Amino acid sequence: MGHRKPLPTAEEVTIPQGHLWTKLPLVLAVTGVLAIAAGWFIADDDHSRNYAWLTGFMYAGSVALGCLFFVIVQHASNAGWSVVVRRVAECAGMALPVLLLLFIPLYLGRMDIWSHWMDAHHAAGDPIIEGKAAFLNEGFWTIRAAVYFIIWSGLGFFFWKTSVSQDSIADPEAARSVTKKMNTMAYPAIVLFGLSTTFAAFDWMMSLDPHWFSTMFGVWFFAGCCVSGFAFLGVNLLLMKKAGLLPQVNEEHLHDVGKFVYAFTIFWAYISFSQFFLIWYANIPEETTFFHLRMGENNPWQSIGMLLMIAHFGIPFLLAMPRTVKRNPSALLAVCTYLLVLHFFDLAYTILPNLFLGKHMVPTSTIPASAVCFAIGMFAIVWAVTAFMHTRSALIPVKDPRLSESMAFTNF
- pTM score: 0.95
Judge contact between 348 and 52, C-beta under 8 A. no
| Residue 112 φ/ψ, nearest 5 degrees | -90, -45
Q: List, for residues 85-121, the tens digit of each pLDDT value.
A: 999 999 999 999 999 999 999 999 999 999 989 987 7
How far is 344 from 220, CA to CA, in rounded Å? 14
Nearest to 371 by CA among 379, 359, 363: 379
Average pLDDT, the chain: 93
How far is 84 from 272, CA to CA, in rounded Å? 33
A 10 A CB-CB count for 151 gives 18
Residues 6+ apart with CB under 8 A from 130: 123
Diameter over CA atoms, the chain: 71
Q: Mean pLDDT over residues 310-316, rounded?
A: 95
Judge contact between 25 and 381, C-beta under 8 A. no
Q: Flag whether pLDDT at 167 surpasses 70.
A: yes
Query: Which H or E run contains 163?
Result: helix 138-166
Distances (CA, A) of 55 to 24, 300, 406: 25, 18, 37
Q: List, for residues 24-76, the tens digit of each pLDDT value.
A: 999 999 999 999 999 999 998 999 999 999 999 999 999 999 999 999 999 99
Tally the residues of the chain. 412
